[in-house]
Structure 1
Amino acid sequence: MKHLVNKILVLTLSGLLLSCVDLEEKPVGILAPESMFRSPKDVETAIFGAYGWIATERLYGRQFVSALLLRGDMADIGDRGTPAERQQVNDFNMDDNNNMVNQFWPVWYQVISASNAAIAGGESLKLTENEINPLIAEARFVRAFSYFHLVQVFGDIPYIDYFITDPGTVKDISKTPQAEIYQKIIADLEFAKQWLPDQQPKGVRSRPSKGTAASYLASVHLTLQDYPKAYAEAKYVIDNKTKFGYGLVPDFQDLFRAPQPGNLQEHIFAIDFLGLVSGDGGANDDIMPPMTGIRGADAPKSGWSVAVPSMAVYNTWDSRDYRKEVSIDDSARIGGVLQPYTVFANTKRPHIAKYARFTGRSNSEGRYSDQNYAAMRYAEVLLIAAEAAGEVNGATAEAIGYVNEVRARARNWAGRQTNFPANVAPGMSKADFINLVLEERRLELAFEYKRWYDIKRRKLGEQVFKGPNSLEPHPNFDPNRDYLMPIPRNELQINPNLNPQNPGY
């Protein structure tokens, strides 16, 4: 999708369609669709604008995804000199004025604003369904993708599904219950599954297809613990993988070797950054390599040691697992000399390698990288199918087979076949199998911003933060408060109808 990024940046910089979701003076959208949308190309441009907001420093470039990363139990704060807002998210002592939340909350609504603009613009053209519905479906997918993140992080939130022409219509908006939001997300994804193409032009993965929509339906249903529907959607993707162009890449490292091909077969939905390009508002600014990189190391691994695995994460991960080799750096060149983690500058622990090891075109700290970040990949669909099938029928041969497919790829150590991890043997209890799948997700998807959502949906917080085998102990974790983040204080001050604040803040 590299040819699209320039268009995204132009729209992001111009600000023609989007503004903040400040519900007092700054409208969510400021243009009437009939004055802006004259052709399907205009609708497509609005959609590209939404992608542009996702690929910014405030969302997938740093703020939002690092909040998810720190909230889980796979990455802890490394350098404690990092701003307090990050430590508060990590340590479960944030308040309702946390600046990370203040940064990413409004930008998600900018993405939604662009999506709503595209939907309204497409409908205003009065074209046939076959002409315009694929683009409307793409915009509805992006809207669903945005709300799926927001509802998991905040619970009840304002739900806006129309193009704003009069700011007065939203200045007093109230929150929508999360159960209702999930149903709206599902409706958007089902429309997207119906009308999106099997593959986008040139097979790019930074735009959704039918398989993308079905994969996210599977994830939503899994989150809602509707396991039969989660299984059905995941099985649909698996059964149609050839039509959609999906599969596991043979070498796990190639998933994190920038620049990745725009049509990488394992990517189901990717956030595409363009190396050494940036713009106003943090456009295309990927800062996750330096956030996870090693302070004082030689380029490109040099970084700030902000999000760093605990020693327990490193020590409990079997070193025979190639995924550990790809995911973690336990040595680095410093001043041209290969050094172990025990002599790293200020955080003497192994560091995350997935983003800082191969950044493509970037600056000396890996910033402005060439990464295509997988928001969803085929391995996750296999593990969704395994978990959902296991919940429905237990550890069947089919459910075990999905896990074994993921493990078989992990045995390919850069072209050398190994015997670890071994296939899952039959005969497991249902409970043991579900725990195994969750553990497989923890390792396969390590540092990919999934772990916090797994902890939340399975209510594992007290186990993983307070239990005897905790990888990252946080004795102050409070399940009555910490499964949700706070609504930003300034939003409540602007619009008291958004009260009550989430519990405990």
Structure 2
Amino acid sequence: MKIYLNRYLSALLVLLIVSCTDLEEEPVGVLSPNGFFQTPSDVEAAIFGAYGRMASEPYYGRKLTLTLQLLSDMCDIGDRGTPARRQEVNDFTAESNNGMVSEFWPRSYEIISAANNAIAGADLLDASVISEERRNELKAEASFIRAFTYYHLVQLFSAIPYIDYVVNDPSSVVDLEKTSEDDVYANIIADLEFAQQYLPMQHPNNVRTRPSKGTAYTMLASVYLTRGDWQQAYDHAKWVIDNAGELNYALVPDFQTLFVATEEDGLPEHIFALDFLGLQNGGGGENDDIMGAITGIRGADQNGWSVSVPSLAVYNNWDSRDYRKKVSIEDSTMVGGILTPYTEYQQVQRPHIAKFARFPGNANTEGRYSDHNYVCFRYAEVLLIAAEALNEISGPTAEAVGYINQIRARARNWAGTMTSFPEDVVAGVSKDGFRDLVLEERKLELAFEFKRWYDIKRRQLGTEAFTSPASLEPHANFDPGKHYLLPLPQDELDRNPNLAPQNPGY
């Protein structure tokens, strides 16, 4: 992916990027699709421009991903000197003026605008310069990007403005009304069905930072799981499993490999990832990956910020025989040449998240501007989706149990040495027990990868997760009538009263 982004990052300067926040401003680089799109490369420029906005600080580089971490019961604020906007998200006290929400909302619509322009541009190309197969493939890639972006928005906000066309006149969308959650999901599914039809099985050079047919099937499985459509979730996950050989998907043998930046390109477990380019920074926060710094250790020889750290109960309750705990959490580090436990860290005496800070590749001393490919979907999640959905359909069948045992078998490989933990799931577990087991397996396997909050929301686990005696991160103020959604940004409501009403409770 690096070769594509390096070549086309400058395309951002000429894209029609219109965010809902800036609808009263002149959009950046206003350019009619009729005047810009002349060749397939021009359409690719728009697509790569969308990726550039996704791999940016207001989106996957910090604002969106940090929000998802802090909303979950897996993470807590480490350094309480961090800005209030982060603490508000973590503590369920965020209101409509929260500075985290007000940044990834407009960036989302910039990504969507780029995707809309790419789709329109592909349709404008003359048949003399592009085959129908290539035209549909480019439209499918842009459709996937649009669906991916709306999928995050609808899960976080419910009803939202839905734009699937080129905006040449910003004034035409200043008074947009919200589209219902059901209709947004229907549009997401339609985009992904188009994508699964026309995307290739693989990209040249084993690139995983562009979607393939398997990516579309995987995301459809995730969407249907979120919607509680167990049969469709299972069917789409099963298609990926059955075609894993042709798609070149597999669990990597060593769990640590997934989080070593220099080894992430083309990993067979990656189904779709966003690529950050080490030690490079574009305008508007492009390529500014801050999650390594946000989760890294502050003080002494370490240069992180200790903002998002594991909830202490997560660390204490996670069995130390599980290699995934060792990979996911840093509980000791070298300080002045001495191995120092977290209880003796200089500033924040807490275990820290290791997945993004331990092996960042090319990065500055804070772990910022890393070389990570931030994985959005990986093959282990497909197995987890299939197991969860099949259990809801048929109970804990041998097939469903087998998917969990594949994941556990990989976890027993401790850096090349086989161990006996975690043990395989054995027959006899109940349907309810297996459901709980799968959700726990998701929590450990996908720890700190921005998935847990969505699991809490779709399964309505907030009361159990935040207010019960078993809570990993207690928040007595958690209100299930309010906090499963974020507030719509106040500046958006001020510009466009048609976005009212505000989400319940705000």
TM superposition score normalised by structure 2 = 0.98
Residue 448 of structure 2 is aligned to residue 447 of structure 1? yes
Contact 2:391/2:434 (CA < 8 Å) preserved in 1? yes
Pairs within 5 Å for 1:179-218: 179-218=182-221
Listed as ranges, the gaps of 5+ residues in structure 1 are: none
Contact 1:28/1:109 (CA < 8 Å) preserved in 2? no
Three-state SS of the structure 2 residue aligned to 1:373 is: strand
Instruction: Find the partner of 2:301 among 298, 302, 306.
Output: 298
Contact 1:23/1:491 (CA < 8 Å) preserved in 2? no
Q: How far is the alpha carbon of 1:202 from its aligned partner?
A: 1.1
Three-state SS of the structure 2 residue aligned to 1:449 is: coil
Q: CA-to-partner distance for each residue in 1:114-133, whole Å, 9 max, x for gaps? A: 00000000011153531300
For residue 44 of structure 1, what is the amino acid of its counterpart?
Answer: E
Cα separation, 1, equivalents of 2:61 and 2:451: 16
Residue 164 of structure 2 is aligned to residue 161 of structure 1? yes
Please name the residue that 1:366 is paired with: 367
Contact 1:260/1:371 (CA < 8 Å) preserved in 2? no
Please name the residue that 1:284 is paired with: 287
Cα separation, 1, equivalents of 2:409 and 2:300: 33
Q: How far is the alpha carbon of 1:373 from its aligned partner?
A: 0.9
Three-state SS of the structure 2 residue aligned to 1:268 is: strand
Please name the residue that 2:490 is paired with: 489
Listed as ranges, the gaps of 5+ residues in structure 2 are: none
Q: CA-to-partner distance for each residue in 1:289-324, whole Å, 9 max, x for gaps? A: 01000111535xx30100011221101000000000
Q: CA-to-partner distance for each residue in 1:67-99, whole Å, 9 max, x for gaps? A: 000000001000000000000000000110000
Three-state SS of the structure 1 residue aligned to 2:376 is: strand
Three-state SS of the structure 2 residue aligned to 1:254 is: helix
Please name the residue that 2:33 is paired with: 33
For residue 141 of structure 1, what is the amino acid of its counterpart?
Answer: F
Please name the residue that 2:15 is paired with: 16
Cα separation, 2, equivalents of 1:144 and 1:310: 32
Please name the residue that 1:350 is paired with: 351
Contact 2:312/2:350 (CA < 8 Å) preserved in 1? yes
Three-state SS of the structure 2 residue aligned to 1:386 is: helix
The 1:488/1:8 distance shift into structure 2, 3 A limit, reads farther
Please name the residue that 1:415 is paired with: 416
For residue 290 of structure 2, what is the amino acid of its counterpart?
Answer: I
Cα separation, 2, equivalents of 1:180 and 1:29: 31
Three-state SS of the structure 1 residue aligned to 2:466 is: helix
Please name the residue that 1:378 is paired with: 379
Contact 1:19/1:29 (CA < 8 Å) preserved in 2? no
For residue 64 of structure 2, what is the amino acid of its counterpart?
Answer: F
Residue 88 of structure 2 is aligned to residue 62 of structure 1? no
The 1:234/1:28 distance shift into structure 2, 3 A limit, reads farther
Cα separation, 2, equivalents of 1:19 and 1:337: 52
Please name the residue that 1:81 is paired with: 81
Q: How far is the alpha carbon of 1:15 from its aligned partner?
A: 4.8
For residue 20 of structure 1, what is the amino acid of its counterpart?
Answer: S
Cα separation, 2, equivalents of 1:361 and 1:249: 23
Three-state SS of the structure 2 residue aligned to 1:333 is: strand
Cα separation, 1, equivalents of 2:159 and 2:30: 25
Pairs within 5 Å for 1:138-149: 138-149=141-152
Q: How far is the alpha carbon of 1:142 from its aligned partner?
A: 0.3
Q: Identical aligned pairs, as a percentage?
A: 61
For residue 274 of structure 1, what is the amino acid of its counterpart?
Answer: L
Cα separation, 2, equivalents of 1:169 and 1:199: 39
TM superposition score normalised by structure 1 = 0.98
Question: How well do the aligned residues superpose, as a CA RMSD in angstroms?
Answer: 1.2
Cα separation, 1, equivalents of 2:301 and 2:402: 42
Q: How far is the alpha carbon of 1:336 from its aligned partner?
A: 2.6
Pairs within 5 Å for 1:250-329: 250-299=253-302, 302-329=303-330
Three-state SS of the structure 2 residue aligned to 1:468 is: coil
Three-state SS of the structure 2 residue aligned to 1:99 is: coil
For residue 11 of structure 1, what is the amino acid of its counterpart?
Answer: A
Please name the residue that 1:94 is paired with: 94
Three-state SS of the structure 2 residue aligned to 1:98 is: coil
Q: How far is the alpha carbon of 1:338 from its aligned partner?
A: 1.5
For residue 449 of structure 1, what is the amino acid of its counterpart?
Answer: F
Query: Would you say how many aligned residue pairs link Structure 1 and Structure 2?
Result: 502
The 1:456/1:8 distance shift into structure 2, 3 A limit, reads farther
Cα separation, 2, equivalents of 1:398 and 1:263: 28
Q: How far is the alpha carbon of 1:504 from its aligned partner?
A: 1.0
